[in-house]
Structure 1
Amino acid sequence: MCSTSCPLTEDPAAFVWYKNREFLYEDWSPWYQELVSSEEAVRYSCAIKGYEDLRAPEVSVDFVSPNCYSVTYEKGKMCSHQLKSVDEPCSVTYPRDVRVQLTSERYHVALSCDTSCPVTDPNPAFWWYWDRKLFCCCNSQNITSFNIKANIFSCALKSNEDLYSDETCRDASSCKKVNYVHRRICAPEGSSVDISSVYTYSAGGGTKLWYKKMQNVEENDADLLTVAEGRVEYHDKKNLHTLRLIDLQKNDSGEYIFSLKENYKENEPSQSPHVMLIVTGLKVTMNPSSEVTQGQKVTLTCGTSCPLTESTTYVWYLNGQPLSGPVNQNKHVLLDPVDCQHAGNYSCAVRTPDFISSPEEVLTVKARGKSVTIMNGVKVAVLLLIPPVVFTLYFMMRKKQAASASVKLREKEQAEQVE
């Protein structure tokens, strides 16, 4: 993710990504949206559009595995000060999974927030949630508590709150556990999206409800989503409950909460993370600009405000007609070198499975040596503007000159014969 040390005043802000110090793409999402390479020579960096000279320190991906990924930062300020000097490179290994290990005894509960690989920071911090309320943030990965009344436990790494563990119950006989299939979803405006929760409700009853709350509001200030709203569907199958939102609009962005309730009017506050939905539009961007000269390199990007899934299929159009070839399926189109035939109106679309299209953007391509072309055109234009009478006088004069030359040639031949 491309992060800044202070809030950005421009909303939305555009982020520029670089690979080996060359422009890669530009987008509104701060999250990197391409497949990363673990090759030693590949380095990545980012900047805010308009401040490209102020780039983030370069990073390289050392390795990616099902459990971990390791990143090397050019500057050690991204790591703990006890790990490396801020002026030297440093490497950090991040887990890809977090889970709670629970051991319940008669008078106490032992908890461990286990990660899928060791955390390299010597002073990691962990968020602990008990009964979906924030219990504490502490440096300890292990907690032992006596006379505890909570039944549902979960945890997260403070430096990576998006990596949140599934809920674990102390007493399975009275467990109302709620876990989400995906906690962060990006979907195009106008499409449909499924938000799913896997639940456990051993009592076999309860009302299954979905709520939506906007950002920066109180937890209890959430709207109940009902089928009567027209764009909302509920689907329930084998402890998998799905909220389907149809024809997404920008104001559908927000946090979505699934709840199992014994009483319809019950409203249990929850401080644990839920599902964040971001609805994005599509926009074609052109780098270095939308007006280029023949022979330059131009990158077209189907931009979004958040990263769509890697399996997203893109379709590109030029003047309303689909582009041909494998380039048509990519998020980016590279025109290198660009030619006059590439000029026109470009748009992109994604399959969701319906096609959601972007507005058209115009690419203007100037011919090389334009000034020479103009001068040649002027010469031709001037020649064509000469009146026909001038052509008549010109050919009559040439005819007279030819006749005079012919007479002189005959006189010379006669003189030579006399001699």
Structure 2
Amino acid sequence: MVFRTTQSVLVFVLWSVTMAKDCGQKTQVVVSPIVSKKGEYVTLTCVTNCTLTNATYIWYRNGQRLDEPTSRQLSVISYYTSSFSCSVKDHEDLQSPTMCVLGRQCFNVTYTRQSICALKGSVVDLPCKYQYPNNKKLSWSNWYIQEKHDEAPTNLGSLPEYSGRVKYLGDNVSNCTLRITDLRETDSAEYKFRFKTRNTEWGYSFPGTTLTVTDLQVKVTPGKRKTKTLTCSTSCPLTDNSNLTYVWYKNGQHLTHQKTVTSYLILDPDSTEDRGRYSCGVKGLTNVLSPELSLGEQSVTTGTVVGITLVVVILILLLSGFIWFRKKASKSTSVGQDKAVIVQSVHPDSNSNTYATLNMRNLSTDDTLASVHPDSNSNTYATLNMRNLSPDYETLASVRNSQNDEDRQKISDYENCGEPPRNLD
């Protein structure tokens, strides 16, 4: 669109070429400010060659999204020092670059890199430039982190996990670069720069710099013949990998030969010399190592070791239980036989001194002794083994001693009976 007057015709066109999500062709987003006279309104037109039906347009001023209007054109006063940009709803990736009305110096923030991939434990710089009119004075500036698109960004200075790890390398004029040290995987997020002058504040609706922090992984791929290629890889292509020197380890020992400074190794898994556990790192980052990867037929993974160990333990427990039950069953049978009380019933002759014998040696607490009442005319007795006599039969000893005393008394009664004198005269 061109608006002509007798005084002047100004046309500013800024191109942004990208690929639309729902379009099979290259798309150009064009912002055209047209002015007829200083102080009058300027018409801004958002143009795209992507075929869209009933499209809804989004306008931004100084990095902040405007709720209204949603039409293709926007009219602003020509002396505005604000910057403007536009995009199509559901196609925000087609957002146009910012531009100043009448080409004047205005508010703007430019991120040199919209996405950065960096290694865990390393240092990364988020390059950034900003501008504002010369007649304005900077009030404050801060970096923010936005982890989710539907949430407001958070000031990095208020987060304790970033304390001592962030440094502002910029100035109060145009440089707004931020440095983050000792990168962690939790640092992966979108970072945005904001600043404010007396009356104007730069918003955070614009995309900032998306940082992805990755660790190292060793991946194996088939090579020529029987060889295997080990590659020290990351989850995203490192943004600055020109000066990286890789370090390889085998079984925890640093490999120092010439071929180990690259990001890959070519090995023969059938070779005894090449078999082992491999990990990789980057020179200068001693605390950043990949997990080990085993190479070779004899290598056993951790999961396999755990599985075998578990099976062995279960077999040992089952075998131990079987042996224990066998021993218990055998012992029970033996004890039952030993505890059996054998009583031999004897019917002696009335004139003989035959007794019934009771084995008291293996007598248990469950065994009982029956009281025996022999015939008064019989000399049959029950004899007991006195060696294993229990306390319940202590009275037997006294009876036995009493009997011995009586025998001694009988003997003493006849001690005076000797040979009769030969001569009684």
User: Which of the numbers 199, 203, 216 marks the counterpart of 1:282?
Assistant: 216
* One-letter identity of the residue aligned with 2:73: I
Higher strand share: 1
* Residue 298 of structure 1, CA deviation: 2.7
Q: What SS does the corresponding residue of 1:236 show, helix, strand or coil?
A: coil
Q: Distance in 2 between matches of 1:68 and 1:269?
A: 24
Q: What SS does the corresponding residue of 2:182 show, helix, strand or coil?
A: coil
Q: Does the aligned pair in 2 maintain the 1:212–1:224 contact within 8 Å?
A: no
* One-letter identity of the residue aligned with 1:240: N
Task: Using the aligned pairs only, state the percent identity.
Answer: 27
Are 2:259 and 1:329 equivalent residues in the alignment?
A: no
The TM-score normalised by the length of structure 1 is 0.51
User: Which of the numbers 304, 309, 313 marks the counterpart of 2:239?
Assistant: 309
User: Which of the numbers 130, 148, 154 marks the counterpart of 2:61?
Assistant: 130
Q: Does the aligned pair in 2 maintain the 1:156–1:163 contact within 8 Å?
A: yes
Counting only pairs closer than 5 Å after superposition, residues 224-373 of structure 1 correspond to structure 2 as: 224=157, 229-237=163-171, 239-262=174-197, 269-287=203-221, 296-309=226-239, 311-312=241-242, 313-319=244-250, 320-322=253-255, 324-325=257-258, 328-330=261-263, 332-335=264-267, 339-350=271-282, 354=285, 357-366=288-297
Q: What SS does the corresponding residue of 1:199 show, helix, strand or coil?
A: strand
Aligned residue in 1 for 2:130? 199
Q: Does the aligned pair in 2 maintain the 1:100–1:111 contact within 8 Å?
A: yes
Q: What SS does the corresponding residue of 1:342 show, helix, strand or coil?
A: coil
* Residue 355 of structure 1, CA deviation: 6.0
For residues 300-325 of structure 1, what are the alpha-carbon distances to aligned partners after superposition, in whole Å with 9 as ceiling and x for unaligned? 23232332126443514132334645
Q: Where in structure 1 are there 5+ consecutive unaligned residues? A: 1-66, 71-77, 81-91, 368-419
Q: Does the aligned pair in 1 maintain the 2:228–2:266 contact within 8 Å?
A: yes
Q: Does the aligned pair in 2 maintain the 1:314–1:348 contact within 8 Å?
A: no
**Cα gap change, 1:107/1:363 in structure 2, threshold over 3 Å: closer, same or farther?**
same
* Residue 366 of structure 1, CA deviation: 2.3
Q: Distance in 2 between matches of 1:163 and 1:179?
A: 16
Q: Does the aligned pair in 2 maintain the 1:295–1:338 contact within 8 Å?
A: no
Counting only pairs closer than 5 Å after superposition, residues 4-403 of structure 1 correspond to structure 2 as: 92-94=24-26, 100-105=31-36, 106-112=40-46, 121-123=50-52, 128-135=59-66, 143=73, 145=75, 151-155=82-86, 161=92, 164-170=95-101, 175-202=106-133, 203-206=135-138, 207-219=140-152, 221-224=154-157, 229-237=163-171, 239-262=174-197, 269-287=203-221, 296-309=226-239, 311-312=241-242, 313-319=244-250, 320-322=253-255, 324-325=257-258, 328-330=261-263, 332-335=264-267, 339-350=271-282, 354=285, 357-366=288-297
Q: Does the aligned pair in 2 maintain the 1:166–1:179 contact within 8 Å?
A: no
Q: Distance in 1 between matches of 2:95 and 2:176?
A: 20
Q: Does the aligned pair in 2 maintain the 1:98–1:164 contact within 8 Å?
A: yes
* One-letter identity of the residue aligned with 2:175: L
Q: Does the aligned pair in 2 maintain the 1:284–1:348 contact within 8 Å?
A: yes
Q: Distance in 2 between matches of 1:219 and 1:309?
A: 27
Q: Does the aligned pair in 2 maintain the 1:225–1:232 contact within 8 Å?
A: no
Q: Does the aligned pair in 1 maintain the 2:46–2:87 contact within 8 Å?
A: no
Aligned residue in 1 for 2:380? none
* Residue 182 of structure 1, CA deviation: 1.0
**Cα gap change, 1:190/1:68 in structure 2, threshold over 3 Å: closer, same or farther?**
same
Q: Does the aligned pair in 1 maintain the 2:60–2:66 contact within 8 Å?
A: yes
* Residue 343 of structure 1, CA deviation: 1.9
Q: Does the aligned pair in 1 maintain the 2:33–2:42 contact within 8 Å?
A: no
Q: Distance in 2 between matches of 1:162 and 1:155?
A: 11
* Residue 180 of structure 1, CA deviation: 0.9
Q: Distance in 1 between matches of 2:275 and 2:90?
A: 46
* Residue 336 of structure 1, CA deviation: 6.8
* Residue 68 of structure 1, CA deviation: 7.6
Bigger relative contact order, structure 1 or 2 (CA pairs below 8 A, ≥6 apart): 1
Q: Does the aligned pair in 1 maintain the 2:108–2:131 contact within 8 Å?
A: yes
Q: Does the aligned pair in 2 maintain the 1:185–1:276 contact within 8 Å?
A: yes
How many residues align? The count is 270
* One-letter identity of the residue aligned with 1:303: S
**Cα gap change, 1:236/1:69 in structure 2, threshold over 3 Å: closer, same or farther?**
closer
Q: Does the aligned pair in 2 maintain the 1:347–1:359 contact within 8 Å?
A: yes
Q: Does the aligned pair in 2 maintain the 1:213–1:219 contact within 8 Å?
A: yes
Q: Distance in 2 between matches of 1:173 and 1:274?
A: 23
Q: Distance in 2 between matches of 1:158 and 1:341?
A: 60
Q: Does the aligned pair in 2 maintain the 1:113–1:155 contact within 8 Å?
A: no
Q: Distance in 1 between matches of 2:296 and 2:225?
A: 9
For residues 124-154 of structure 1, what are the alpha-carbon distances to aligned partners after superposition, in whole Å with 9 as ceiling and x for unaligned? 97754333234589999x6353669793222
Which of structures 1 and 2 has the bigger CA Rg? 2
Q: Distance in 1 between matches of 2:278 and 2:238?
A: 20
Q: Distance in 2 between matches of 1:344 and 1:211?
A: 46
Q: Distance in 2 between matches of 1:308 and 1:272?
A: 24
**Cα gap change, 1:233/1:163 in structure 2, threshold over 3 Å: closer, same or farther?**
farther
* Residue 191 of structure 1, CA deviation: 0.9
Q: What SS does the corresponding residue of 1:251 show, helix, strand or coil?
A: helix
For residues 193-247 of structure 1, what are the alpha-carbon distances to aligned partners after superposition, in whole Å with 9 as ceiling and x for unaligned? 1112211122352122112232255225554469992112112255112111111
* One-letter identity of the residue aligned with 2:184: Q
Q: Where in structure 2 are there 5+ consecutive unaligned residues? A: 1-15, 299-425
For residues 3-22 of structure 1, what are the alpha-carbon distances to aligned partners after superposition, in whole Å with 9 as ceiling and x for unaligned? xxxxxxxxxxxxxxxxxxxx
Q: Does the aligned pair in 2 maintain the 1:190–1:247 contact within 8 Å?
A: yes
Q: Does the aligned pair in 1 maintain the 2:228–2:267 contact within 8 Å?
A: yes
* One-letter identity of the residue aligned with 1:344: G
* Residue 296 of structure 1, CA deviation: 3.3
Q: Distance in 2 between matches of 1:186 and 1:271?
A: 22
**Cα gap change, 1:286/1:159 in structure 2, threshold over 3 Å: closer, same or farther?**
farther
Q: What SS does the corresponding residue of 1:340 show, helix, strand or coil?
A: coil
Q: What SS does the corresponding residue of 2:273 show, helix, strand or coil?
A: helix
* Residue 174 of structure 1, CA deviation: 6.8
Q: Does the aligned pair in 1 maintain the 2:107–2:202 contact within 8 Å?
A: no
